[in-house]
Structure 1
Amino acid sequence: MMKTLLLPPGLQIVLLILALILWGRYRMLSWTFVLIAVGSLYLLSVRPVADRLVGWLEMQQPTLDTRVFQQQASPEAIVVLGSGINGYTPDYDMLPQPSALLFQRLRYAARIADQTGLPILVSGGAANGINESAVMSRVLLEDFGVTTRWQENQSMTTMDNGRLSKAVLSQSNISNIILVTHALHMPRAAKVFRHQGFKVVTAPTAYLRTVQKYDWRDCLPMAAELRKSQLALHEMAGLLWYRIRYEI
């Protein structure tokens, strides 16, 4: 609830409500809230601003470099982090499916597994009665022909992903991993897994930043760009919170 109100467009709605409440006695303050709400909503909804926000996060960790496979301390497993399940799927006879973003992670993990022959751990807990790791494992097998060796099915946060994956992989004496998540999430995820003692080779995927020259149409507000900004601000807040809460 609080997270929703601190991110766009929830924050802008809160500011507009405050402006309405204060309008009678504090007209100037009310106008200030209105201008901040409208101005920030516009800026966060245009492509140049959204790209700058997501780009700052997506460029922090390197893409997968296949040369790591020839190094002495080469990775021993692939860890794929969950990112949501679609439960309402009449087109699949109501069989739960991965979200679009999670499917991108699974597809990339399958590609890496094909290149390296490394075993896969999927990490994701249960929400709304649907076990994410079980769905991930099924889709990897059915859609990509890749068998999952481990399922970590209790995590609900990125910190859980790291802590509980450590508990699973330590039983096989595995500490060197390739970590798969979307590029926007990788800075926080990599910090968490390194904090747990893993040697991490990052494999970011599903980049949201666009590579193009901007024109006047990119100054028009779009819901898709607002969503990108929302995701970026969520990750920035997460990085700050993890630094405060877990000192990482």
Structure 2
Amino acid sequence: MTLLFLAKKFITFFVEPLGLILALALVGLYFLYRSSYTKARVLLSISVFLLLFFSYPPVANNLIIPLENTYQKYNLNNNNIEYIHVLGADHYDNTNRPLSSQISNASLKRTIEGVRIFKAINNPNLKMIFTGYEGSSNLITNAKISKVAGISHQSIIINGQPKDTQEEAVLAKSIINDKSFALVTSASHMPRAMTLFKNMGMNPIAAPTDFHGKNQAWLTQPTIGAFKKSEIAIHEFLGIAWHYLIH
């Protein structure tokens, strides 16, 4: 794991909602300890406001829905493909748990969507590619689930080297080149992923899954689930901004 990658992760944490709120609260507590009550009151008030703001369901939904609605679900009439690329997500290494509990919800949904497309197209030459970081465990777990669904190991390609979406695109380019393929990832992540893959000169067809946004009444209470949606959306907006900044 490179120093630049770790630095990017560290900086990203503190500009996303949770890290930003924690940083403001900690600095506020520091000023409170130093008896700088005005500064402490301002920083702690901002941190509480941001916590409530990002935890409010209508705010979270309005942040994430524009990302998720960028691409429609995969059209199975797009059957002239040779590859389905499933991007990586989190997993949990614990052999004491069943296979279904060793994979995150996002990763499970991505794998299921990839399997759905694979089975619907029914092409004997079709390959499923699993990429991502965390060693190879996440990929092996995804592959095992695919095998449970009836996909043979000959139809599965796994690689645990890419640390982020950019590196996943570079790897896919070496395998797929400029052929059309189904790109499977979470709906909120799809706009950034499609941009990265297209910039590599590839021809991905979006296959979004793991949707979170929904229309809710404005008269509702803050929730942890809404805060998580806001975190996901802000992470993606920052990723998109970073991509355009360095390009």
Q: TM-score, normalised by structure 1?
A: 0.84
Which range moves more in the overlay, 180-189 or 57-66? Answer: 57-66
Which residue in 1 is equivalent to 2:61?
51
The DSSP-based 3-state class of the residue aligned with 1:9 is helix
CA offsets 1:154-205 (integer angstroms, 9 cap, x no match) = 11100011001111223xxx52111110101101111111111111210101
> Cα offset for 1:132?
2.5
Give the structure 2 partner of residue 214 of structure 1: 217
Q: Decide which moves more: 177-186 or 111-120.
A: 111-120
Structure 2 partner of 1:139: 145
Query: Hey, what's the Cα distance between the residues in 2 that align with 1:230 and 1:30?
Result: 25
Give the distance between the partners of 1:15 and 1:48, measured in 2 at CA: 24
Alignment of 1:34-183 (within 5 A): 34-69=44-79, 74-92=80-98, 97-118=102-123, 119-127=126-134, 129-142=135-148, 144-147=149-152, 148-170=155-177, 175-183=179-187
Residue 237 (structure 2) aligns with: 236
The one-letter code matched in structure 2 to 1:124 is: T
For 1:168 and 1:133, the matched residues in 2 are separated by 17
Query: Is the contact made by 1:123 and 1:161 (CA closer than 8 Å) also made in structure 2?
Result: no
Letter in 2 for 1:159: Q
Shift of 1:54: 0.9
Counterpart-to-counterpart distance in 2, 1:138 and 1:225:
32
On the 8 A contact 1:124/1:155 being kept in 2, the answer is: yes
Cα distance in 2 between the residues matched to 1:46 and 1:166: 40
Stretch deviating more after TM superposition (17-26 or 104-113): 17-26
Unaligned runs of 5+ in 1: none
Question: Equivalents in 1 of 2:109, 2:128: separation in Å?
Answer: 16
Identity of aligned residues (%): 24
Q: Distance in 1 between matches of 2:230 and 2:101?
A: 28
| Contact 2:89/2:132 (<8 A) preserved | no
Q: Distance in 2 between matches of 1:9 and 1:15?
A: 10
TM-score (norm 2): 0.85
Q: How far is 1:116 from its partner?
A: 1.1
Give the Cα–Cα distance (whole angstroms) in 2 for the partners of residues 141 and 84 of structure 1. 19
Pick one of 189, 198, 205 that aligns with 2:209: 205
Amino acid at match of 1:30: A
